[in-house]
Amino acid sequence: MTTSIINSQKLSDEPGNSNFRLKDIIKTVPRECFQQNRRKAWTQVLLSVLAVALGYYSLIVTPWFLLPLAWIFTGTALTGFFVIGHDCGHRSFAKRRWVNDLVGHFFMMPLIYPFHSWRIKHNYHHAHTNKLDEDNAWHPIRPEVFENWDTTRQSAFKLFMRKRLWWVGSIGHWAVVHFDWRNFKTKDQSSIKLSVAVVVVFAAISFPLLVATTGIWGFVKFWLVPWMIYHFWMSTFTIVHHTAADVPFATANKWNEALAQLAGTIHCDYPRWVEILCHDINVHVPHHISTAIPSYNLRLAYSSIKENWGPYLHDECQFSWPLMKQITDECQLYTTDVGYKTFNEHYEHYTEQ
């Protein structure tokens, strides 16, 4: 029996799995994985700042026919900015909260990402990973939900999957979820307003200045395209971390936190330069075991988790076009307690009824 089949059965055949607890997994992770290291944290900051600076310098001096390479490098380096903000959002960057908040705002500001909005929504994702109707980072669309959509929305979703448009997914999530403080609890709204104000002020100053000094093309060249490359990685990391034909999403009564984090989170290897610039965010299983593990300790933690909990882990994969094609071709609609179906399989079943 393969690991993937074990995972699927574990999550679907043992409702609640009350004897399998996340804290039991955490206890097996070496204590040093949770220790914050100021030198390593600020070294990551320095690496990202230098990489982004190098990226923008390359955009200035690179001839037009090499601009795509410079854009890819710069956008990937900017993703490192987000990962630093990501650690800050989980309070794993520094011991002092105000340092996490300050650094988090600073590094997410150029991405026009409200820090506290993202932090609160993302922590909710960790609390409900792979739980149907609750996970807010990436969740499959159920057939009954799909059928209740109007024709326009159905067509848009089918186009999104069939035309491999996964890479714009995080842009929609960013735009819809993170700017309206009314979607958050009253106690959080003042923090949300602060974070939204930070990015609005940044955009109000930097965008007109950029256009005034470099023109519309300068805005596209120096901000818009690198920002879209950053969202390519955001969308890709998000969908790959939790999506495969054999990764189940469970209803609340059958959901187990420990199994969801182990079997429902996928380790994917990317080109080494991407992993360096993005601070190993692809080593995602330990991050779901505990958000207290800083990004520079993820590989050490993952080695321990593989040693102690290997049979529960999903098979590792390698980032590639065939992988993304497989995900978008196979993981289109999700039937509760059954799994993913393609649009064609859904319509065949629908017409048979």
151-188 tens-digit pLDDT? 999 998 988 888 899 999 899 889 888 998 988 899 99
- Which residues have C-beta within 8 Å of that of residue 283, sequence separation ≥ 6? 267, 298, 299, 302
Reply yes or no on whether the pLDDT at 11 is more than 70: no
Averaged pLDDT score across all residues of the chain: 90
Interval 265-289 mean pLDDT:
95
Tell me what pLDDT residue 140 has: 86
pLDDT band at 221 (very low <50, low <70, confident <90, very high): very high
How many Å apart are CA 302 and CA 286, to the nearest integer?
6
Reply yes or no on whether the pLDDT at 6 is more than 70: no
Reply yes or no on whether the pLDDT at 3 is more than 80: no
Q: At which residue do the structure tokens 């380096």 appear?
A: 77
Interval 309-331 mean pLDDT:
93
Question: Comparing C-alpha atoms, which of 14, 7, 126, 78 is closest to residue 229?
Answer: 78
Q: Which of 11-20, 162-171, 277-286 has the highest mean pLDDT?
A: 277-286
Query: CA Rg, the chain, in Å?
Result: 21
Dump strand ranges (E) for the chain.
268-269, 317-318, 333-335, 339-341
Strand partners, 333: 341
The structural domains of the chain, with segments of one domain joined by +, span: 3-352
What would the two tokens of residue 169 be?
Answer: 């997914």
Tell me what pLDDT residue 137 has: 76
What would the two tokens of residue 298 be?
Answer: 């993820």
Q: Are 286 and 298 in contact (CB under 8 A)?
A: yes
Reply yes or no on whether the pLDDT at 135 is more than 60: yes
pLDDT band at 263 (very low <50, low <70, confident <90, very high): confident
How many Å apart are CA 195 and CA 226, to the nearest integer?
22
The mean-pLDDT minimum among 1-15, 88-102, 118-132, 226-240 falls in 1-15
**How many other C-beta atoms are found inside a 10 Å radius of the C-beta of residue 123?**
14
Q: At which residue do the structure tokens 């420990």 appear?
A: 258
Q: Give the residue with greater pLDDT, 6 vs 237.
A: 237
How many Å apart are CA 83 and CA 204, to the nearest integer?
24
**Quick one: CA dihedral 88, 93, 97, 101, positive or negative?**
negative
Q: Are 285 and 265 in contact (CB under 8 A)?
A: yes
Tell me what pLDDT residue 10 has: 44
Q: Are 278 and 259 in contact (CB under 8 A)?
A: no
Reply yes or no on whether the pLDDT at 87 is more than 90: yes
Q: At which residue do the structure tokens 């959509």 appear?
A: 149
Question: Comparing C-alpha atoms, which of 338, 157, 348 is closest to residue 251?
Answer: 338
Q: Give the residue with greater pLDDT, 6 vs 107.
A: 107
pLDDT band at 254 (very low <50, low <70, confident <90, very high): confident
Tell me what pLDDT residue 134 has: 84
How many Å apart are CA 329 and CA 220, to the nearest integer?
32
The mean-pLDDT minimum among 98-107, 132-141, 193-202, 332-341 falls in 132-141
Q: At which residue do the structure tokens 């909710």 appear?
A: 124
Q: At which residue do the structure tokens 């969908």 appear?
A: 239
Tell me what pLDDT residue 139 has: 78
Q: At which residue do the structure tokens 């955001």 appear?
A: 234
Where does residue 75 rank: exposed (0-12), middle (13-18), buried (19+ CB within 10 A)? buried
Question: Comparing C-alpha atoms, which of 244, 252, 234 is closest to residue 337?
Answer: 252
For every residue of 271-288, DSSP letters joined together read -HHHHHHTTTTT--HHHH
19-62 tens-digit pLDDT? 778 889 999 999 999 999 999 999 999 999 999 999 999 999 99
C-alpha 22, offset from chain centre: 21
- Which residues have C-beta within 8 Å of that of residue 34, sequence separation ≥ 6? 290, 292, 293, 297
Reply yes or no on whether the pLDDT at 8 is more than 60: no
What would the two tokens of residue 185 be?
Answer: 């609890």
Tell me what pLDDT residue 68 has: 97
